[in-house]
Amino acid sequence: MSLGLRAEAIVKSYGGKPVLGGINYNFSTGKIYALMGANGCGKSTLMRILSLLESPDSGGVVYTGENGMALKHDIGLRRRITLLLPNAGLFNTTALKNAAYGLGVRGFGRSEAKKLALRALAAVGLGHKTKQNALTLSSGESQRLALARAVAIEPELLFLDEPTASVDPYNKEVIEDAILGMKGRRGIIMTTHDEAQAFRLADVVLVLENGVLREAGR
């Protein structure tokens, strides 16, 4: 686990309306960051840019490897990071096959993929649902399965966009426990509108406001 991430003067506008006005931040490896801010302030935009799904208008997203050298934004790097979106689409097949999907894509053999997928499902309390079709899961279970699919590949840096939006307190707790269970083993950058949750889970709470990022005090 040695992936470093630095945001350098990231600027982004849509249709002439500025959203990100020069984001500078150095994310330490292996920490949990919670990103907060009002609806529409640009959190998801920043998450897409940091996870290399979208390009900024100007500025840079710099990933660094073990020796601190900047890494190319190639498929090798992209496979070390994952963005989980709210309402991530599940596939019309078993929970287990959903959880194993990213492993298959990454060339894991069938039995290794199954082992890792089962472990990820257990981590989100879905060990008893492996054979159920994903499309028949409750929405709280679906959200947990989407998290399992994202963590099964053991990304070094995991972006979670509102991982507990619209789930009940029980499912929220299961997801929070799964996130805390990963603490120290991988970097996590998550967004949330739940301030108490942000301070419960994160090493650092960040606030995005008027296009700039600041650290929030406890």
Ligand X SMILES: Nc1ncnc2c1ncn2[C@@H]1O[C@H](COP(=O)(O)OP(=O)(O)OP(=O)(O)O)[C@@H](O)[C@H]1O
Q: Please give the residue ranges that form the binding site for ligand X (CB under 6 A).
A: 14, 19, 37, 39-45
Provide the minimum distance between the beta carbon of 14 and ligand X in the complex, in angstroms, as a whole number.
3
14 binds, among Mg ion, ligand X, none (CB under 5 to 8 A by kind): ligand X
CB nearer to ligand X: give 130 or 143.
143
| Cα separation, 170 vs 167, whole angstroms | 8
Burial of 151: CB neighbours in 10 Å, binned 0-12, 13-18, 19+? buried
Q: Which candidate, 81, 79, 99, 80, places its Cα nearest to that of 90?
A: 99
Provide the minimum distance between the beta carbon of 194 and ligand X in the complex, in angstroms, as a whole number.
12
Q: Which residues pair with 94 in a beta bridge?
A: 133
Provide the minimum distance between the beta carbon of 160 and ligand X in the complex, in angstroms, as a whole number.
13
| Cα separation, 190 vs 86, whole angstroms | 11
CB nearer to ligand X: give 22 or 37.
37
Provide the minimum distance between the beta carbon of 39 and ligand X in the complex, in angstroms, as a whole number.
3
CB nearer to ligand X: give 3 or 35.
35
Positions in 41-100 near Mg ion (CB under 5 A) = 43-44
Provide the minimum distance between the beta carbon of 42 and Mg ion in the complex, in angstroms, as a whole number.
8
- What are the φ and ψ backbone dihedral angles of 177, each rounded to 5 degrees? -65, -40
CB nearer to ligand X: give 176 or 194.
194
Q: Please state whether 207 falls in left (phi above 0), alpha (psi between -120 and 50) or beta.
A: beta
68 binds, among ligand X, Mg ion, none (CB under 5 to 8 A by kind): none
Per rule CB under 5 A, count of chain residues that contact Mg ion? 2
Judged by the rule CB under 5 A, the positions of this chain that interact with Mg ion are 43-44
